[in-house]
Amino acid sequence: MKSIDSPKKNILVIYHSQGGTMKLLANQLAKGAAREDNLNIILKEASDATVDDLLNCNGIAIGSPEYFGTMAGMIKDFFDRTYEAAQEKTIGLPFIVFVSAGNDGRGAISQIERLTAGYKWKKVQEAYRVVGVPTEQDIINIQDLGHALAAGVDFGIF
């Protein structure tokens, strides 16, 4: 049983969006994560996310569109800006990846997962890909993905 006085854990959701699809998905993922009352959900565009956000989170969700077979540059920028300060302090951090793509998305997933390996983070769910326009089922699935991350962090599973 949790103590009433215990500080809430934080889930950080970072994303990059130009056309709006990834913003929609990130908001839906955060909505799913918010089903767990004992957590703070911090939703930020990757360009606004800081090393302090990373150091103070207990789980992270990374959302990127795939551009030309690769992750968005702002997602890479987040990793570049945080690596030196956070790498040794975030070992084992639970993470998930979600990607939107016009036709594939695997390149972005592969690159993000390669970078998280440098931090020694722990992948807790397989990456979720939305190809094309998100369907109603995609929205349900992305909310469930956020909820799974949040529940796992909340209950100490991850």
Domain boundaries, given as residue ranges, for the chain: 9-153
Please name the CATH architecture into which domain 9-153 falls: 3-Layer(aba) Sandwich (3.40)
pLDDT tens for residues 130-156?
999 999 999 999 999 999 999 999 999
Is 128:25 a contact under the CB 8 Å cutoff? no
pLDDT tens for residues 44-90?
999 999 999 999 999 999 999 999 999 999 999 999 999 999 999 99
Instruction: State the sign of the Cα–Cα–Cα–Cα dihedral 143, 59, 102, 27.
Output: positive
Average pLDDT of span 4-18: 87
Whole-angstrom distance, CA of residue 52 vs CA of residue 134:
32
Q: What is residue 103's predicted lDDT score, i.e. its pLDDT?
A: 83
Q: What is residue 6's predicted lDDT score, i.e. its pLDDT?
A: 57
The Cα diameter of the chain in Å comes to: 48
pTM: 0.94
